[in-house]
C-alpha cells in the first residue's frame, strides 16, 4: 500500500505527528479513503530514565523494542464516491487532530506509550515461553 506524507505537526513535547494518505481507487468512481497518523518515539536515555520507566534498564528496553517505538493509528472508509474523497480525507485527519492532539502533546505521552509497548512485549514473551 502506497503511503504519501500529507501533513506534519510539531508537538509541544518535541515529537512529530505525521499523516500519511493511504487512499486508493477500488472500482469505477469508488475509493478506499484512509489516513495513518504516526509518531516515531526515539528511545533516548532521558526518556528511558524517567519515573515511569525507571524500574527497567535502558539496555533491556532497547533490546526489546529497538531504537524507537512507533505510535500509529489508522482512520479509513470504504466505497467512497470520488467527488467526496478529498473532503473525507481532510475530515478524517481533522477529526483525529481534534480528538487526540492534546493527549499526544502531553509531556509524559512518550514514556507512558513506551512503557505500554514494553509491557506488551514482556507479556507476549512470557506467553510464548509457556507454549
Q: Tens digit of pLDDT for each residue in 72-95? A: 999 999 999 999 999 999 999 999
C-alpha–C-alpha distance, residues 42 and 56, integer Å: 17
End-to-end CA separation in angstroms for the chain: 34
pLDDT at 13 over 80: yes
Q: What residues contact residue 48 under an 8 Å CB cut-off, 6+ apart?
A: 56, 58, 61, 62, 111, 114
CA 94 vs CA 17, 59, 83, 101: distances in Å: 13, 38, 19, 10
Share of the chain above pLDDT 90, in %: 74
Local confidence band at 129 (pLDDT 50, 70, 90 cut-offs): low
| Mean of pLDDT over the chain | 92
Mean predicted confidence (pLDDT) in 61-82: 96
pLDDT at 27 over 90: yes
Mean predicted confidence (pLDDT) in 89-115: 96
Amino acid at each position: 500500500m502506497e503511503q504519501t506524507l500529507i501533513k506534519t505537526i510539531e508537538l509541544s513535547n518535541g515529537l512529530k505527528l505525521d499523516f500519511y494518505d493511504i487512499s486508493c481507487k477500488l472500482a469505477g468512481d469508488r475509493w478506499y479513503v484512509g489516513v495513518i497518523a504516526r509518531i516515531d518515539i526515539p528511545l533516548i536515555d532521558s526518556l528511558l530514565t524517567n519515573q515511569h520507566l525507571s524500574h527497567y534498564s535502558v539496555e533491556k528496553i532497547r533490546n526489546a523494542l529497538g531504537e524507537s517505538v512507533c505510535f500509529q493509528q489508522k482512520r479509513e472508509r470504504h466505497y467512497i464516491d470520488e467527488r467526496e474523497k478529498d473532503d473525507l480525507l481532510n475530515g478524517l485527519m481533522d477529526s483525529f487532530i481534534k480528538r487526540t492532539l492534546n493527549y499526544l502533546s502531553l509531556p509524559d505521552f512518550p514514556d507512558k506509550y513506551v512503557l505500554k509497548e514494553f509491557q506488551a512485549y514482556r507479556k507476549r514473551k512470557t506467553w510464548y515461553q509457556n507454549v
